[in-house]
Structure 1
Amino acid sequence: MSVQERIRGGERPQKTGIFWWSGQIISWLVLFIVLALIALMIVIPKLGGATAYTVLTGSMRPNFPPGTLVVVKPLDPKELHIGDVATYQLKSGEPEVVTHRVVSMGTNLSGEQRIIFQGDANNTVDDPVRSEQIRGKLWYSLPLLGYVNSALSMQQRTWLTWVVAGGLIVYSLVMFIGAWRERQGKQR
């Protein structure tokens, strides 16, 4: 019986072959990669109370070149140690931040904690930083994903998360309905 006769007779031909399998593998791989990226860039930081930043300069080369996504988790500045990588505000209360390595810690004459940072690729230390300027300590980093992070606004990230979640729900419904229809067809 030919494929055309099987289709006319209500039988569906089996989907096999190199192109069908290649398409299945590629589509599942793309889905997995997109979900992993969303998890690493949006969901995990949000659940962990962390913030994702993009490295914009070469001051932390070679470990964190420009375009690296650094996820920073808030902490008590007293928990920082020399050698830790942390993000701090350049000026207290302003949004501009820097991610550098702690090279020295101490207190000034009035007993206020001061932390000295330096970029791994820099020859000089940064100005002393007060504890209220610390945004957090490096939790994890992902090379090149900072470019994606910079390209998307917070609102776009939120929409992207909802669109992907909705797409997964629709995809699972389509798969469920397809399996149900196939089962109904076999019972006839």
Structure 2
Amino acid sequence: MRAVRAVVRGLSYGTLLLVLLVTALTIAVPHLAGAVPLTVLSNSMAPAMPVGSLAVVRPTMPLSVSAHELETLSPGQIREVNDTSHVGVGDVILFAPNPNDATLVMHRVCEVRSYASSTGEDRSVFVTQGDNNSMLDAPVHDYQVRARVWYSLPVLGHVNDALNAGEHSAKAIVAVAVAGYGAALAYLVRYVRASSTADAGASA
């Protein structure tokens, strides 16, 4: 009987910890670290980051710079606020392949090429490729980089999408999670009571 109760407590605590961990990784940690949670929409980075994965990225420029502002800035102006010095081979970066286009690509850096501009300033060009792609991307200039992937987790991108779908959706998800947790706990309680009754009958 004690063993059954221990299992019930373990499952109960385990479920609660899992819910808290998912919440922390998708909401709390990115927010506290100034990172941004994104959902992977293609399989170009599979198997490391398949469709539906959560990719938490750290922007290479201040979050105060809006997408609208970026459209009005020249490459030189973007370089002034965009720090790509920490991006290296093996990193997965988020970049804008085309100017004035909101579409972003998330691929791995295969090579970093540095050169000096005509004014003597350091410049960088990144050679990237999707893990699941057979061809390299067009060269990515430093002013095209938007963020570097900090960590990624499978499946949780769907959770991120649901949480960002709106206040009502978020409340619904929380309600379903709580209801599911409560139902599982109620089932375990009934199981323990049934086991206790059976044990008492056997002892009699």
What are the equivalent positions in structure 2 for 1:1-188 lying under 5 Å apart? 24-75=9-60, 76-92=83-99, 94-106=101-113, 107=115, 112-153=123-164, 155-156=166-167
Give the C-alpha shift of residue 95 in structure 1: 3.2
Query: What SS does the aligned partner of 1:44 have?
Result: helix
The letter of the residue matching 1:37 is: V
RMSD: 3.1
**Higher RCO (Cα < 8 Å, 6 or more apart):** 2
Give the C-alpha shift of residue 30 in structure 1: 2.4
- CA distance 1:156–1:20, change in 2 (3 Å): farther
- CA distance 1:19–1:52, change in 2 (3 Å): same
The letter of the residue matching 1:86 is: I
Structure 1, unaligned runs of 5 or more: 1-15, 168-188
Q: Deviation per CA, 1:19-51: give whole Å up to 9, x if none.
A: 876655444332211111010011101111111
- CA distance 1:93–1:50, change in 2 (3 Å): farther
Give the C-alpha shift of residue 135 in structure 1: 2.1
Percentage of pairs with the same residue: 36
Give the C-alpha shift of residue 109 in structure 1: 6.4
Distance 1:85 1:96 in 2: 16
* Higher gyration radius (CA): 1
Give the C-alpha shift of residue 131 in structure 1: 1.9
Distance 2:163 2:100 in 1: 24
Query: What SS does the aligned partner of 2:152 have?
Result: strand
TM-score of the pair, normalised by structure 1: 0.64
Distance 1:104 1:84 in 2: 10
Q: Deviation per CA, 1:27-83: give whole Å up to 9, x if none.
A: 433221111101001110111111112222221122222222111112321221122
- Please tell me whether the aligned partners of residues 84 and 101 of structure 1 are also in contact (alpha carbons under 8 angstroms): yes
Query: What SS does the aligned partner of 1:81 have?
Result: coil
Give the C-alpha shift of residue 143 in structure 1: 1.2
